[in-house]
Structure 1
Amino acid sequence: MKFDLVIAGVGGQGNILASQVIAQCAMDAGYNVVNTETKGAAQRGGSVLSHVRFADREIFSPVVPLGQADVLLGFEPLEALRYINLLNKNGKYIINTAAVPTILANMKVDVYPSIDEILAEVAAKGLDGYLLNATQAAKDLGNVLLTNVVMLGAFTAISDVLPAEAVLNKLLSKVDPKYHEADIAAFNRGRDIIQAMQQEQKI
């Protein structure tokens, strides 16, 4: 068994915490695990790409090769598009459709594509996956900082490689208990959104 995950986002979205939760959960399950990040100006909204690889055999590189990821979690749509070629042809993506324009785009030095343009490029890849506004779901729960937890819950709805309960419990072990109620709600909200989409596909 081998599983490769990439999480693409920008600094401040909590993707490093999400990758650590999954990596540590996989270690608890007895897998060999490697987890690494490549960061731009992370604290200033720069690109952050996390690689999580685990297997029941030796892993020779911490970086997911091109076309080999089983799942791509795109915390930010342009970053997801930037790295979607890491996904294998049978893999799945979950992309948060809420944009986080770069500082240069906000300064009118650079141009951030429209969401329609980004999603059209994603669709043109012919890969399978789900689009959701995890940021809005987090806001609806009262805290935009729950976006990464919504995405973690969504991940457990498309892959049973790790039990959802184990992933949630690992997350809760890493945060202050006063946030547990909100984290549980956000995690379940992510699962519910994806499961509702899956039900629609069966109809």
Structure 2
Amino acid sequence: MRSLRICMCEGGNEIMKLDIVIAGVGGQGNILASEVLAQCAMDKGYNVLSTETKGAAQRGGSVVSHLRISDSDIYAPLVPVGQADILLGFEPLEAMRNAKLLNSKGKFIINQEPVQTVLSNMGADVYPPLSELEAAVKAVCPHGYFVNATQAAKELGSTLLTNVIMLGAFSKVTDIFTPEVILAKLLSLVNEKFHEDDKAAFAAGQKLV
């Protein structure tokens, strides 16, 4: 399932571009996921720019990672509106808020498990129904998957595995890296005592899409 874009530059040569946005909240591990993919890209010799935007709260606040990969020059770290090839939504409301970054031919993988906002926990706001969030995303881009990565992580014993499950799912919608390369890079960045759990979580993610 091809997710990268092949574009023509002024000289007529083809250039490869892949723009990825990972949207979630603090504590979900999307920065580690971004680092894994960035290092995979650098290992293949691609140019890479990545950055994160964070909300006021370190844990529970919005965290959005922008990852831009190309075999040509990249001039800005933020993915422009309408240009993302893949949106990984670790949290559905944050995914909806960043759906505008997707291009209409892109793909999304969105975790369906909500993390209530501070205002909704205080009763000052209402968390939107999941059906409304899904419809808003599909209005921008119809191609993708809604999965319950958090539930799959719970079944493996820890919600901390959600980001690994999402990486496993990602490995099924792109051909820029093989699943084996992504998993190997992840394992190289985490403590060895977590390797067996991470392998199981990665495999579980692959089965969700």
- TM-score per shorter chain, which class? over 0.9
Aligned partners of 2:73 and 2:62: how far apart in 1? 29
Question: Over residues 138-194 of structure 1, what are the superposed CA-to-partner deviations in whole Å (9 max), with x where a residue is unaligned?
Answer: 001111100000000000101111121111111101111110000001001111111
> SS state of the match for residue 154, structure 1?
helix
Q: How far apart are 1:33 and its partner, in Å?
A: 0.4
Q: How far apart are 1:41 and its partner, in Å?
A: 2.5
Q: How far apart are 1:42 and its partner, in Å?
A: 4.1
| Aligned partner of 2:67 among 52, 55, 66 | 52
Aligned partners of 2:177 and 2:42: how far apart in 1? 11
Q: Unpaired runs of 5+ in structure 2?
A: 1-15
Alignment check: 8 A CA contact 1:44 1:103 kept: no
> SS state of the match for residue 58, structure 2?
helix
Code of the residue aligned with 2:87 in structure 1: it is L
Q: Unpaired runs of 5+ in structure 1?
A: 195-203
| Aligned partner of 1:72 among 60, 83, 87 | 87
Greater shift after overlay, 113-122 or 50-59? 113-122
2:204 is matched with 189
| Aligned partner of 2:53 among 4, 14, 38 | 38
Aligned partners of 1:124 and 1:3: how far apart in 2? 22
| Aligned partner of 1:151 among 159, 166, 169 | 166
Aligned partners of 2:141 and 2:186: how far apart in 1? 33
Corresponding residue pairs, total: 194
Alignment check: 8 A CA contact 1:6 1:72 kept: yes
Question: Over residues 8-41 of structure 1, what are the superposed CA-to-partner deviations in whole Å (9 max), with x where a residue is unaligned?
Answer: 0000000000001100110011000011000002
1:199 is matched with none
Alignment check: 8 A CA contact 2:90 2:166 kept: yes
Code of the residue aligned with 1:119 in structure 2: it is E
2:157 is matched with 142
> SS state of the match for residue 172, structure 2?
helix
The Cα RMSD (Å) is: 1.0
Does 1:12 pair with 2:27? yes
Q: How far apart are 1:126 and its partner, in Å?
A: 4.6
Aligned partners of 1:173 and 1:102: how far apart in 2? 33
Aligned partners of 1:181 and 1:126: how far apart in 2? 35
Aligned partners of 1:23 and 1:49: how far apart in 2? 15
Alignment check: 8 A CA contact 2:105 2:141 kept: no
Aligned partners of 1:96 and 1:77: how far apart in 2? 6
